[in-house]
């Protein structure tokens, strides 16, 4: 079995979104403390469930990203893009209603919009071959 890397630019961008998702998931899964620190979160002392949730979330990102890479199907890329679009929408709601207007939230919003746009632009045919 060979490693498949797309030849079309649009699919390469969608692939990069999936690869970034998998990489972020890997980091979240194996370094939840540093991830929490970067996001301004902290697990309560004596309660390992916080780290368990962080690792679980990282495992989900890793699994979703690797699935998109290995299957390389339009529907998987669409699911990846739609998931990040909904995450970006939720972050906008948080910025507006939770008094979360800070630099980290805006940077993460830009990242989520980019991770949503790359696969969706490919799936809907907006990128040139």
Three-state secondary structure string covering the chain: CCCCCCCCHHHHHHHHHHHHHHHHHHHHHHCHHHHHHHHCCCCCCCCCHHHHHHHHHHHHHHHHHHHHHHHCCHHHHHHHHHHHHHHHHHHHHHHHHCCCCCHHHHHHHHHHHHHHHHHHHHHCCCCCC
The mean pLDDT value for 94-114 works out to 94
Q: How confident is the model at residue 129 (pLDDT cuts 50, 70, 90)?
A: low
Q: How confident is the model at residue 127 (pLDDT cuts 50, 70, 90)?
A: confident
Q: Residues 2-48: pLDDT tens digits?
A: 788 899 999 999 999 999 999 999 999 999 989 988 888 888 776 77
- pTM for this predicted structure: 0.91
Residue 83 has pLDDT above 90, yes or no: yes
């Amino acid at each position: 079995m060979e490693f498949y890397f797309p030849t079309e630019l649009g699919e390469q961008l969608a692939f990069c979104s999936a690869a970034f998702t998998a990489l972020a998931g890997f980091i979240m899964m194996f370094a939840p403390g540093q991830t929490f620190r970067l996001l301004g979160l902290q697990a309560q002392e004596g309660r390992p469930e916080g780290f368990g949730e962080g690792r679980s979330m990282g495992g989900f990102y890793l699994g979703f990203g690797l699935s998109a890479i290995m299957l390389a199907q339009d529907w998987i890329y669409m699911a990846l893009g739609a998931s990040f679009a909904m995450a970006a929408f939720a972050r906008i709601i948080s910025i507006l209603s939770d008094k979360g207007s800070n630099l980290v939230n805006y940077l993460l919003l830009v990242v989520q919009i980019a991770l949503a746009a790359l696969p969706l632009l490919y799936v809907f045919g907006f990128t040139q071959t």
